[in-house]
Structure 1
């Protein structure tokens, strides 16, 4: 291979890798987390810093979503949703495990 062909191949490979990483990064923050964050802001006055234990699954043919949210003020909430429900069920985590 000539120097130009090897360089073109390397640039193409780097672009494919970058696009793959970008696509994976976008899927790491699913839209349902945005919905949960908005609901927590409205109902619990919680500015979400980050999420823990994010899970997506299926139960009896219905999609399920669960996550624990860490608020900026230190509180934590568990949120869960089983479709076709539109709103998350939210419970505050206290001193005991929730």
Structure 2
């Protein structure tokens, strides 16, 4: 118990520094991610539909290495489903895949 009381001040300082580091890291990550958005979700839908005509059946937002990616599932005229990934940063299709 005496050892714990002796190091109490150092433990409290370390805990406060750790909390401050976590908060600033979170703010940095949020700021970096939000500054990389040049395309809204509705714009991403239009980009995907311009390349793959059909109807959107689902849409999700994914985060990968501080970048936002819109994952959009489209059903085309042949009733095939295409998963399209659109970058929020570049407004470009970065990948697509036909589902069976």
TM-score w.r.t. length of structure 2 = 0.49
Choose 1 or 2 for highest CA Rg.
Answer: 2
More helix by share: 2
Superposition TM-score, scaled by structure 1 size: 0.49
